């Protein structure tokens, strides 16, 4: 357990993230910060009162200022607006960039040694904003996307094969958008290559459903976007950092030559430990996967160039 984890944004993703962190006792204190008066305080109090029932000793605190967040070991940024039907993640660009900028300025001074996990969308660009504004090294700024996209992909495969989700190993790389790259060549069921268990056409349909996984949920909800799986994904990343598990998880990382690319955040396999991103793993890709990753990088560079800082 670490001393303190802050979650910025006490909306759907933020509050669910804070609750999962507390239930897993990843931090002694979990601080939820939001600009809405009373919301983080009320939700935090409610969550903390579930502690005697759920049996956790983490203390959850809600606040509108950064005083209580001082010296957080990890900060999860979920502040921003969520998608509505018909909106792409990029439609959130400048509103969320302004919010993430303001949040990052606060964190830079109150928690200068924190590891940042960015969840606000468009994810890859918001991670860039957070790194640029805080000036933190790239090991300490990571974006949550790949774990979520991979979870969706694994869930769909498990359902199609009628097997346990636990036995699906897979990795989705690239940007967190329609161009994401589920790696079929690295998808297996308890070590059995997926191509031996499923016809290509069915697999292609699952890849497409994964790419539109977030939009499918927005279409149902109408007033917001997904939060149960996104919060679970962010917390899995926190857990690997807190317990120095050194798990290999797909995260948005700032590339400096890896995969032949530089100067952007892109989803790649990362080893996550107490130092944050301890290693970016470069795997062999098929020609098709390499092309798809390059296309995905282009889709990230475009909004990155348009963001106003
Ligand atoms: N500082 C702190 N909190 C802020 C700020 C800010 N400057 N600006 C907005 N917020 C808060 C809002 O008050 C709100 O409570 O961020 C919260 C966002 O919550 P929701 O609207 O419920 O959105 P949510 O579903 O949690 O999504 C948040 O995560 O997955 C992404 O695309 C999603 O960018 C979106 C983000």
Domains of the chain, residue spans = 2-143, 146-305
- In sign, the C-alpha dihedral spanning 244, 245, 246, 251 is negative
Coil, strand or helix: which one is 212? coil
Q: How far apart are CA 251 and CA 172, in angstroms?
A: 9
Coil, strand or helix: which one is 170? coil
Our CA angle for 1, 39, 227, nearest 5°, is: 65
Q: What is the pTM of this model?
A: 0.97
DSSP summary character for residue 36: S
Tokens of 220: 């149902």
CATH of domain 2-143: 3.40.50.720
**Given this model, what pLDDT does residue 242 score?**
98
**Nearest in space to 62 (alpha carbons), one of 31, 19, 29, 36:** 31
Contact indicator for 138, 251 with CB cutoff of 8 Å = no
- Summarize the confidence of residues 91-96 as an average pLDDT: 89
- How far is it between the farthest Cα atoms of the chain? 55
Residue 89: band (very low, low, confident or very high) from pLDDT cuts 50, 70, 90: confident
- Summarize the confidence of residues 243-261 as an average pLDDT: 97
Tokens of 250: 């797909």
Angle, helix 146-161 to helix 228-242, in steps of 10 degrees: 120
* Residue 244 CA to ligand 1 centre (angstroms): 28
Angle, helix 12-23 to helix 228-242, in steps of 10 degrees: 40
**Given this model, what pLDDT does residue 83 score?**
78
- pLDDT tens, 135-187? 999 999 999 999 999 999 999 999 999 999 999 999 999 998 889 999 999 99
Tokens of 72: 């957080």
Pocket of ligand 1 from Cβ distances under 6 Å: 8-14, 33-36, 78-83, 92, 96, 99, 102-103, 119-121, 224-225, 227, 230
- Summarize the confidence of residues 126-138 as an average pLDDT: 98
Q: Which of 14, 32, 101 to mutate to test the pocket of ligand 1 (most atoms within 8 A of CB)?
A: 14
> Candidates 3.60.10.10, 3.40.50.720, 3.90.110.10, 2.60.40.60; correct CATH number of 146-305?
3.90.110.10
- pLDDT tens, 12-63? 999 999 999 999 999 999 999 999 999 999 999 999 999 999 999 999 999 9
**Given this model, what pLDDT does residue 143 score?**
98
**Nearest in space to 237 (alpha carbons), one of 279, 272, 275:** 272
Tokens of 299: 């889709």
Q: Which of 79, 124, 143, 214 to mutate to test the pocket of ligand 1 (most atoms within 8 A of CB)?
A: 79
- pLDDT tens, 64-82? 999 999 999 999 999 998 7
- pLDDT tens, 187-227? 999 999 999 999 999 999 999 999 999 999 999 999 999 99
């Amino acid at each position: 357990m670490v001393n303190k984890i802050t979650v910025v944004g006490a909306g759907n993703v933020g509050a669910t993230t804070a609750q999962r962190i507390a239930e897993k006792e990843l931090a002694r204190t979990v601080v939820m910060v939001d600009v809405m008066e009373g919301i983080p305080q009320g939700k935090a109090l409610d969550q903390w009162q579930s502690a005697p029932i759920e049996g956790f000793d983490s203390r959850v605190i809600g606040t509108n200022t950064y005083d209580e967040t001082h010296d957080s070991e990890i900060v999860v940024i979920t502040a921003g607006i969520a998608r509505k039907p018909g909106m792409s993640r990029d439609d959130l660009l400048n509103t969320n960039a302004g919010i993430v900028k303001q949040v990052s300025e606060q964190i830079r001074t109150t928690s200068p040694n924190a590891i940042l996990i960015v969840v606000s969308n468009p994810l890859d660009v918001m991670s860039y904003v957070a790194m640029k504004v805080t000036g933190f090294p790239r090991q300490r700024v990571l974006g949550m996307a790949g774990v979520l996209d991979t979870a969706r992909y694994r869930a769909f495969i498990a359902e199609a094969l009628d097997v346990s989700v636990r036995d699906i190993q897979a990795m989705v790389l690239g940007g967190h958008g329609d161009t994401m790259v589920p790696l079929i060549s690295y998808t297996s069921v308890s070590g059995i290559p997926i191509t031996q268990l499923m016809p290509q056409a069915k697999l292609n349909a699952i890849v497409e459903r994964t790419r539109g996984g977030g939009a499918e949920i927005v279409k149902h909800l109408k007033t917001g976007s997904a939060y149960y799986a996104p919060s679970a994904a962010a917390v899995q990343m926190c857990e690997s950092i807190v317990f120095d598990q050194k798990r290999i998880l797909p995260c948005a990382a700032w590339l400096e030559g890896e995969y032949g690319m530089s100067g952007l955040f892109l989803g790649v396999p990362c080893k996550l430990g107490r130092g944050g991103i301890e290693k970016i793993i470069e795997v062999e890709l098929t020609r098709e996967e390499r092309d798809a990753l390059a296309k995905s990088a282009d889709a990230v560079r475009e909004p990155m160039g348009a963001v106003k800082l």
